[in-house]
Amino acid sequence: MSVISFGCCARNSARQFVKAQTGWQHSHMTVLEGEAMALLEAIQFAEHQGWDKVIFESHSATLANALSTHRRGNSEFHAIVTCIVAS
């Protein structure tokens, strides 16, 4: 088991800092699963703040492709992607 950490930074439309969040957990996630989980955490953070018009950015092309193609799979990664799409 290892410790994974995540964070997100919110900026307004003028790209000025608004708020940030960080967190960590013990997990057996792969890097790709961690990228997806970090996005899910960021979405939940934005929802908790009451923000309804949000643009999310990620440097993971694999995650972006999975979100845009809506492919389904039988992996933990695809389970997290399904949760993101449902958000």
Q: What mean pLDDT is predicted for residues 61-81?
A: 88
Q: pTM score, two decimals?
A: 0.87
Residue % of the chain over a pLDDT of 90 = 67
pLDDT grade for 67, boundaries at 50, 70 and 90: very high
Q: Does residue 2 register a pLDDT over 80?
A: no
DSSP 24-84: EEEE---HHHHHHHHHHHHHHHHHHHT--S-----S-HHHHHHHHH----SSHHHHHHHHH
- Which sign does the torsion angle of CA 12, 14, 17, 20 carry? positive
Q: What is the pLDDT of residue 81?
A: 94
